[in-house]
A and B are shown apart, each in its own frame.
Chain A
Amino acid sequence: MMRSSQPLTGTNGRRCKEDEKLINATLRPGKRGYIIDTRSLNIAQQARAKGGGFEQEAHYPQWRRIHKCIERFNILQESLIKLVEACNDQSHNMDRWLSKLEASNWLTHIKEILTAACLAAQCIDREGASVLVHGTEGTDSTLQVTSLAQIILDPRCRTIHGFESLVVREWLQAGHPFQQRCAQSAYSNSKQKWEAPVFLLFLDCVWQILRQFPCSFEFNEQFLIMLFEHAYASQFGTFLGNNENERSKLKLPQKTMSLWSWVNRSEELSKFQNPLFEANSLVIWPSVAPQSLQLWEGVFLRWNRPSKFLDEAHEEMINIIKYN
């Protein structure tokens, strides 16, 4: 599986032999490849007017292009704001809750992203085909798809260290612009142009899969919530900056502590371990039916509902397993 940004075909339908050679080199003998474009066909076509575009079938004959539209930018930020508002609504009123939840579209985004990731994984696992994923910049929806696909396919990504590596590789090194995206979160008064909860959506998708396969992850929900928090505000330097270049220029490795160095200490790690974890070598396929996707209460209802009883249940679970 590879990722990139959009090809600069422009309105003239430019081609680039080197680009074609590069991605053709990943094809397995006798197999074709799939290009998963995270924009709708319309948007991909419109991109040509600004110098961007998509891979022409004629130039990439061994590749089949699939468009799986995933939303971006302010639409996602609006979605988050609406969701948080709905969750904070103090009225008893059952009547409006579900329609408010629906109006936020948050779960729709989750469904879209997971579906695209599952498709990418299917291409690889079921067809043995190579996959190239890109959107416009290759820094947002692209990364959601590639990282989730790996979680589906590769059991190592479901271990704590494997997941940490995944985040480092697919988000930090791949250049997801954390500083722009995680500027202010849901309560900000001013609307930052480039802000969007892309990483949070990714973590939410991971949580959805975790919920469906509770024995397949070495880490627990708290681990994901911790990462969410540190992406937005942290005493560690890991999520600062927009890419490796900036982090290096800012001399972050010299001036700040890494989140991982703290998290991986055994006292800390023990809080994030999933007592139900049983290593398996399965490919796990989540269901994307609406009934299977739920609101991530641990994040969105965290301050609105008592967690006492759920905490007790979790403790009891740990006791049962520890005693064994």
Chain B
Amino acid sequence: VENVRLLDRLSSRKAALGTLYLTATHVIFVENVSETRKETWVLHSQISSIEKQATTATGCPLLIRCKNFQVIQLVIPQERDCHDVYISLIRLARPVKYEELYCFSFNPKLDKEEREQGWKLVDLSEEYNRMGIPNNYWQISDVNRDYGVCDSYPTEVYVPKSATAHIIVGSSKFRSRRRFPALSYYCKDNNASICRSSQPLSGFSARCLEDEQMLQAIRKANPGSDFIYVVDTRPKLNAMANRAAGKGYENEDNYSNIKFQFIGIENIHVMRNSLQKMLEVCELKSPSMSDFLWGLENSGWLKHIKAIMDAGIFIAKAVAEEGVSVLVHCSDGSDRTAQVCSVASLLLDPYYRTMKGFMVLIEKDWVSFGHKFNHRYGNLDGDPKEISPVIDQFIECVWQLMEQFPCAFEFNERFLIHIQHHIYSCQFGNFLCNSQKERRELKIQERTYSLWAHLWKNRCDYLNPLYRSDHSQTQGTLRPQMAPCNFLYKFWSGMYNRFEKGLHPRQSVTDYLMAVKEETQQLEEELEVLGERLANLQKSQLNGNKVKSEQQDQSKQFGLSTSNNSLANTPQEYSNDLKSFPSRSPSQGDEEDSALILTQDNLKSSDPDLSANSDQESGVEDLSCRSPSGGGCLPSEDSGKDSDEAVFLA
């Protein structure tokens, strides 16, 4: 559709005119401006809702809201076209079969072996070995090898040595959806463990010998403690209500040596509504400070984040400080349980704070343990009441921790944002379906690519420059401040206002430090080369030989500032009632000018071939403006691309 306008949500002045394309997998808007032809790509999988708004004199507005919080406002001149686009998008954004998803047509031009290697990057059996299993207390069980015991669990589960197949099977019959207690994390320092399950089918008075034996087995697997905690992550009221439906929670009288604890994290419906309210605040045009703060508090979002974090802290404390094992469950054992177990693991074990370790953590507690990705994130069209930002909350907990402990994580904020993006994008096969069983039936690994390999390939973009593996923050358990701490939780504008670049700091500390570190590395390498050369020279002088001249790579540019200068040069919206301000400064020239490359005189290794051509107005080019999706790979996570980078699908 031609002559479509893409409005800028923040600045009513900046509408771009262009052409809208619909493909099998994307919506693409291409600007008419001939020099840049800026493209905006949106995956159908990312579309959360489409709203057709009232026709105005300028055309028919269409509002597209995405699951990665991008909001796109289009104005289509003809009502008929607008309607067509609307209907098409509704259908395209609600696929019925898995095969319609992008991951089945995405082609990063890798061969079969590379694809396989990509899937092998994260190996859970290696992970459990790293934890120290199997050992005297824990073993791997193949009781679920054909998914015969629990179809949402993986084929390989780790259980206490004293839990026989009979006990496991019996326990599974007493648990919602057969999700029996299984190992999530084992602390080899003190044998304490974190196990997870779903709620017991205890009703008001039912008992199950095998289930009780299962919990005893968990306790016995930790000789250092004579009891275990059983943590129900639901509010007490909800758990009690479940008893009327024949489910419920563990009675301390029936299970010997347990200490029972409610933690009170709300359910998926409350969370869905909470996010909705928060996004409404984000969509307010020119909100006042009061609007924003009230809206944020009213949504309750940060309160929920804190609740999840507190649960993780409680469990981490139990394991690390008390040396007591914990069994965690909610209703299903696949939402709050996953959140809480993975937060606790992250606090306890520095490995999960490395890039690889984090991938392993998600693979373990979310993917293998049957988190219902399809239902929660709407891979396929389904029940809207099942949709809920469960993993988003976990990812935010990690970000909140990164803000409190800036040196503790090997990866940076961008890593988290891109993972969240791809959970919804369905560009890779990792987060499809609701269980390992379903994924194997669909032969996901043979037909799609792994996100982890893609991220790993681009890991330079995701590093945290402040991370050092020998740093005090990166060792051992993280202990977030418990109280007072309400002010420690901040609104994550990097995620929820991700595409509104004007709202974020216009210079990135992370990128700057990464550029410095890279330069340091290059300097060190150069130093080595020069050192060798010097040695050679000295040798040949002794030998009286002719000195060979070596070509050196002088092509590096060392502008370190990574500010996006066109953004820095752009005034934000300061007044709604002053109309007469031109958008360009006479002294600053064209806003769209990409800054010249500037070498700084104070850098020790400035390239002698470039003169210090300091353009007074423009700053320094963004050195690290690599597309996060990596060269050659398809539409970047930021969905704005150069036309040069456009790769067409095979």
Contact = CB atoms under 8 A, between A and B. Distances in A.
Interface string A83-110: 0000101111111011101100101101
A10 B548 CA distance: 87
B268 interface: no
A304 interface: yes
B506 to A, nearest CB: 6
A290 B289 contact: yes
A288 interface: yes
Given A107-B289, A280-B561, A289 B571 contact: no
A16 interface: no
A137 interface: no
Interface string B444-474: 0000000000000000000001101001110
Nearest to B465: A320
Given A126-B585, A127-B582, A213-B505, A309 B473 contact: yes
Closest 10 CB pairs between A and B?
A290-B292, A98-B297, A313-B406, A102-B293, A97-B486, A291-B493, A94-B303, A108-B289, A285-B571, A215-B507
Interface stretch (A50-58, A69-77, A114-122): A114-122
B426 interface: no
B471 A287 contact: no
Interface in B499-513: 502-507, 509, 512-513
B512 A215 contact: yes
A125 B585 contact: yes
B206 interface: no
9 contacts: A94-B306, A99-B297, A126-B581, A285-B569, A290-B289, A294-B490, A304-B484, A305-B485, A320-B465
A90 B483 contact: yes
Nearest to A289: B503
A322 to B, nearest CB: 10
B484 A317 contact: no
Nearest to A285: B571
B481 A282 contact: no
Interface string A280-323: 11111111111111110100010011100110110011001101
Interface in B607-632: 616-617, 619-620
B404 interface: yes
A280 B306 CA distance: 40
B407 A286 contact: no
Interface residues on A, range: 35 or more
A57 to B, nearest CB: 16
A301 B489 CA distance: 13
Contacts of A110: 289
A297 B509 CA distance: 18
B291 interface: yes
A309 B404 contact: yes
Contacts of A285: 568-572
Interface residues of B, number: 79
A121 B574 CA distance: 11
B488 interface: yes
Nearest to A125: B585
A39 B465 CA distance: 46
A211 interface: yes
B92 interface: no
Contact of B575 (A90, A102, A115, A211): A115
Given A94-B489, A95-B303, A212 B616 contact: no
A276 interface: yes
Given A115-B574, A285-B571, A316-B468, A95 B506 contact: no
Nearest to A295: B487
Nearest to A314: B406
A309 B475 CA distance: 13
Interface string A162-198: 0000000000000000000000000000000000000
A54 B223 CA distance: 82
Contact of B288 (A119, A278, A284, A290): A290
Contacts of A313: 406-407, 466
Given A108-B289, A282-B619, A312 B588 contact: no
B290 interface: yes
A90 B289 CA distance: 24
Contacts of A66: 578
A201 to B, nearest CB: 14
Contacts of A215: 507, 509, 512, 561, 563
A101 B487 CA distance: 10
B387 to A, nearest CB: 25
B560 interface: yes
A261 interface: no
A216 interface: yes
A237 interface: no
A101 B482 CA distance: 20
Interface stretch (B237-245, B259-267, B352-360, B514-522): B514-522
Contacts of A286: 572
Given A213-B568, A276-B509, A312-B473, A122 B289 contact: no
Contacts of A107: 289, 293
